[in-house]
Amino acid sequence: MKKECVLDEAKECDDCGKCEICDLDQNKICDNCCRCLGEADYNAVEITEIIVPSQIKLKRKKSPK
C-alpha cells in the first residue's frame, strides 16, 4: 500500500523528495536542526524532580562491596 503524500493529501507518495527540502534554505536537505520552528517549539524541558507514587517499590542497584 502506497503512502499518502505529506505535502499534497490528494495524491500518493511518489518519492519525489520535496518533503525533505529545508524550509529555510531550498538548496539544502532537511537535517532536523529545528530552526524553522518557533523558539518555544523546540526549547528543551528541564526536569527538576521526579515524583513516584508510594505504592511503587523501586529496585535499587546494590553497590559492589
- Say which residue the cell 534554505 belongs to: 25
Report d(CA 38, CA 26) in Å as an integer.
19
Say if CB 22 and CB 36 are below 8 A apart: yes
Say if CB 9 and CB 22 are below 8 A apart: no
How many domains does the chain contain in total?
A: 1
Is residue 15 in some structural domain? yes
**Does residue 4 sit in helix, strand or coil?**
strand
Q: What torsion do the CA atoms of 41, 26, 32, 37 make, to the nearest 10 degrees? A: 0
Task: Tell me which of 46 and 17 has the higher pLDDT.
Answer: 17
0.75 surpassed by pTM: no
Is residue 1 in some structural domain? yes
List, for residues 31-57, the tens digit of each pLDDT value: 888 788 766 655 666 778 777 777 666
Residue range(s) defining the domain that contains residue 28: 1-36
Predicted pLDDT at 56: 66
